[in-house]
Amino acid sequence: MGTPEQIKSHTKIPPFIEIMDSTLRDGEQTNGVSFLPHEKLMIAKMLLNGIAVDRIEVASARVSAGEKDAVTMICRYANQIGKLRNVEVLGFVDGKKSVDWIAACGCKVINLLAKGSLRHCVGQLHKTREEHANDIIEVVDYAKSYDMDVNLYLEDWSNGMKDTPEYVYGLLDKLATKRIKRFMLPDTLGVLNPLQVVEYMRKMVKRYPEVHFDFHAHNDYDLAVSNSLAAVLSGAKGLHVTVNGLGERCGNAPLASVQVILKDQFHAKTSIREKRLNDVSRLVEGYSGIAVAPNQPIVGENVFTQVAGVHADGDNKANLYSNALVPERFGRKREYALGKTSGKANIDKNLQELGLELTPEQTIKVTQRITELGDRKKFVTQEDLPYIVNDVLKHNVPEEKVKLISYMVSSAYGLKPVASVKVEINGMQYETEAMGDGQYDALVKALRKIYKDYLNRTFPLLTNYSVTIPPGGRTDALVQTVITWSNGDKTIKTRGLDADQTEAAIKATFKMLNIFEGLNA
């Protein structure tokens, strides 16, 4: 396609690009997605008022009673905020049926689905181009009697231009003067590449310079965004998108991606409020049940997360790893991942965010602990960090007098768990096993046995035991175990942190044993 400058020298980008969102119609054709009427209303409100898209396509006519209820509610709301003609419904060339259905919902715009290729016209309708054009004109005239705006989809336009362009031109020649507000050109099967879009769109714009053309992309070859851009560069005045790229098969052009490329790469003007893009993405993700990929541009969970410590260091010094896609632009914030590649700079960034101040020595210890967890492929989040700080800094014993050398815990259905443990206490190693009501209980009973049989000492009494995880509900979250112990008149509380609950409890236990060993020294 060439550079943006080369392309722009051969074409003129319209001063303003209309964005029509079809999440509630075309996006609902995603396998397994069906929005309830109140969900459609909530998404419509967000799109019209929050995101400020120019138009929304909310349904297909004559689908169901529930669909009619949804369209009626959306139109009632749109009328209240003065945007009734920003709501559109797909209708069919079926005489008066679709128009009557749409009018009964209170809607004022019909997107009429016509055939944009000879193959579809003959193979599906069994009609000539002239017969189909006359049927379209009949529906257009009837819609005008309801004071409806009419937009016309040319279904399979992409194949029409590839195989039978004379059919497309003949249809437009007859319809271009029939009070149709917009002609909408779909790549219905997602078969075009950007060079073809440029060629075909330029031909349409040159032949019909007064016509408003929209382009509707599908993503079968992962080219929906590129093709949408090519259409605008070739004179299209409007683009169709869906939130999170929902749509049939591989989906449609994603709203967020189309917006940022238009604005940043080609300085095109749209009405979109970018700060709400993440909000609408989360809303649709929740209602649709279709998860957004973590690396989905703009709205993915990980796209504003730096992993390598060198990146955090560069950001600290001169924002060396930033571009125009700053997270604050989209109502988000930069995050710095915690793991084996984090490094001190990442830790510092997260500590600053949480308002935690550590000495350089303490930061080194925390960094070492995070690296250790990362080596074990544990996922560490910012929410985990206060727990890790507590784990590293609280009750940290300079010299370990009681060490865990090895242990094994076995459990089987219908049988009590058994623990075998080897420990070193003041330079001497001891080994035994015991049975318990749970894995941790078995291990503690084995330790008690060592203290009683080999040392003739009392093992501290466990008086309270609690388990917490950082917020988020992940099954791979770090577990913090806090245990309260008493030994005579001494009571202490120790904590352990690990992805495994038993491991966390064991760490808390050995911290306790070292503290009591120090007190008894």
Looking at residue 112, its pLDDT comes to 98
Looking at residue 414, its pLDDT comes to 86
CA 368/CA 500 separation, integer angstroms: 19
25 among known catalytic residues: yes
Give which of 338, 396, 335 is closest to 365, Cα–Cα: 396
Looking at residue 350, its pLDDT comes to 66
Q: Which of helix, strand or coil describes residue 333?
A: coil
Question: Catalytic: which of 57, 67, 155, 335?
Answer: 155
CA 215/CA 213 separation, integer angstroms: 7
Q: Any alpha helices (H) in 81-156, and if so which ranges?
A: 97-104, 118-120, 129-145
CA 466/CA 222 separation, integer angstroms: 49
Looking at residue 442, its pLDDT comes to 94
CA 75/CA 71 separation, integer angstroms: 6
How large is the C-alpha radius of gyration of the chain? Answer: 32
Residues across the chain: 521
Looking at residue 476, its pLDDT comes to 57
Question: Catalytic: which of 25, 55, 129, 182?
Answer: 25
CA 20/CA 22 separation, integer angstroms: 6
Listed in sequence order, the residues at least 6 apart from 270 whose beta carbon sits closer than 8 Å to its beta carbon are 16, 17, 19, 259, 262, 263
503 among known catalytic residues: no
Give backbone dihedrals phi and psi of 324, rounded to 5 degrees, phi first.
-65, -20
Looking at residue 382, its pLDDT comes to 62
Looking at residue 339, its pLDDT comes to 57
Looking at residue 301, its pLDDT comes to 84
CA 441/CA 308 separation, integer angstroms: 40
Tell me the torsion sign for CA atoms 57, 82, 276, 317: positive
Looking at residue 10, its pLDDT comes to 54
Q: Any alpha helices (H) in 355-438, and if so which ranges?
A: 360-375, 385-393
pLDDT per residue rounded down to tens, the chain (521 residues): 455 555 555 556 778 999 999 999 999 999 999 999 999 999 999 999 999 999 999 999 999 999 999 999 999 999 999 999 999 999 999 999 999 999 999 999 999 999 999 999 999 999 999 999 999 999 999 999 999 999 999 999 999 999 999 999 999 999 998 899 999 999 999 999 999 999 999 999 999 999 999 999 999 999 999 999 999 999 999 999 999 999 999 999 999 999 999 999 999 999 999 999 999 999 999 999 999 998 999 999 888 876 544 444 444 445 555 678 888 899 887 766 665 555 566 677 667 766 667 778 887 888 787 777 766 655 566 656 766 776 676 555 556 789 999 999 988 888 899 999 999 999 999 999 999 999 999 999 999 999 999 999 889 999 888 887 765 555 556 787 888 888 887 777 877 878 788 888 998 899 888 878 876 65
